[in-house]
Amino acid sequence: MENLFSNTLDGYLFLASLLFAIGVLGILIRRNIIIIFMCVELMLSAVNLLLTAFSVHHNDPNGQVFVFFIMAVAAAEITIGLAILVMIYRNTGSVSIDSLKKLKW
């Protein structure tokens, strides 16, 4: 437990879990799609951080290469996501996820 607040692997584990949980919390309590999007980015960053920590821990550059690819994919994802967001706003006049309720019986 004493390692949780230090720059040890346990510390990074705890920090990443916390950031990830905050991201999940944001997704669950917010209605604005843009904020939800940002929370997704936050969760991705938490994972990136953890991957890097493990990469350093194992002295293996592959983990960092993965982080690099995650960033690349995230950039592409954000581009498309925001474009879809713009389309949603044009069609519904709102960016609340409650406006997207047609996906049901």
Partner 1 sequence: MEQIIFIILSVLAVVGALAVIFSSNAVYSVLFLVLTFFAIAGHFILLNAQFLAIVNIIVYAGAIMVLFLFVIMLLNLNKDSEAPTPALARIAGAIAAGLLMVTIVGAFKGLSQGSDVALRGGEIGTVSRLGQVLFSDFLLPFEISSVLFLSAMIGAVMLGKKNLKDS
Partner 2 sequence: MLNLVFLIPLLPLIGFVLLGVFGSKLPKFVSGAIACTTVLVSFLITLTLLGGVLSGSIVSETITYFDWINTDGIYLPMSFLIDPLSVWMMTIITGVGFLIHLYSAGYMSHDEGFARYFTFLNLFVFSMLMLVMGSNFVVMFAGWEGVGFCSYMLIGFWFKNTNYNNAAKKAFIMNRVGDLGFLIGMLLIFVKVGSLEYATVFGQAPLVFESGTTDIVVITLCLFVGAMGKSAQIPLYTWLPDAMAGPTPVSALIHAATMVTAGIYMIVRSNVLYTLAPFTQDFIMIIGLCTALFAATIGLVQNDIKKVLAYSTVSQLGYMFFALGLGAYTTGLFHVTTHAFFKALLFLGSGSVIHAMSGEQDIRSMGGLRKKLPITFLTFLIGTIAIAGIPPFAGFFSKDEILAYAYQRSPILWALGILGALMTTFYMFRMFFLTFFGEFRGTEHQRSHLHESPLIMTLPLMILSILSIAGGFLGVPHVLGGHNWFGHYLSGVAPVKELALDHSTEILLMSISVALVLVVIIIAYVIYVSKKQVPVSEGSTLTTPHRVLYNKYYIDELYDALFSKTLRWKSEWFYKLLEKGGIDSLVNGIGKGVQWSGKTLRMAQTGNISTYLFLMVLGIILLLIITGLLV
State which of positions 59-88 bind partner 1 (CB under 8 A).
59-62, 64-65, 67-69, 71-80, 82-87
Q: Please state, in angstroms and as integers, the Cα–Cα distance from residue 91 to each residue in 32, 35, 38, 49, following that order.
A: 16, 19, 22, 37
- Largest interatomic CA distance in the chain: 53
Contact 90, 82 (CB under 8 A): no
Minimal distance in Å, beta carbon 15 to partner 2? Answer: 19
Question: Quick one: what does residue 48 bind among partner 1, partner 2, none, with the CB cut-off 5 to 8 Å set by partner type?
Answer: partner 1
Give the residue, chosen from 7, 18, 31, 92, that forms a contact with partner 2 under the rule CB under 8 A.
31
